[in-house]
């Protein structure tokens, strides 16, 4: 699961670079407004922000679940450890 999250983060970073490059082209006046680059850039930026927020919420949720399972695992094994220690 963590590998997938890292891959998704990589895609987010790549997309952010595309948005940055598009903004630079706009500043340089390389692309005319008629190309629709500004609209596409805005749409990409909006979707990228939304996806990044969902990705962060999912990452946080997975991290909380992982910690919960670690605690459950400790609780399940705790009585066995106490029994071994008292023998």
What was the pLDDT predicted at 45? 84
What was the pLDDT predicted at 22? 78
Alpha-carbon distance of 80 to 23, in angstroms, equals 61
Distances (CA, A) of 42 to 16, 27, 35, 38, 73: 12, 14, 13, 6, 46
What was the pLDDT predicted at 13? 83
Alpha-carbon distance of 75 to 52, in angstroms, equals 35
What is this structure's pTM? 0.61
What was the pLDDT predicted at 32? 54
Low-confidence ranges of the chain (pLDDT < 50): none
What was the pLDDT predicted at 25? 73
What was the pLDDT predicted at 60? 92
């Amino acid at each position: 699961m963590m590998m997938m999250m890292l891959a998704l983060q990589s895609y987010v970073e790549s997309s952010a670079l595309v948005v940055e490059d598009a903004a630079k082209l706009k500043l340089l006046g390389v692309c005319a407004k008629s190309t629709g680059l500004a609209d596409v850039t805005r749409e990409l930026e909006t979707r990228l922000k939304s996806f990044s927020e969902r990705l962060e919420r999912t990452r946080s949720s997975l991290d909380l679940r992982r910690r919960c399972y670690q605690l459950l695992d400790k609780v399940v094994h705790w009585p066995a450890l106490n029994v071994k220690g008292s023998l």
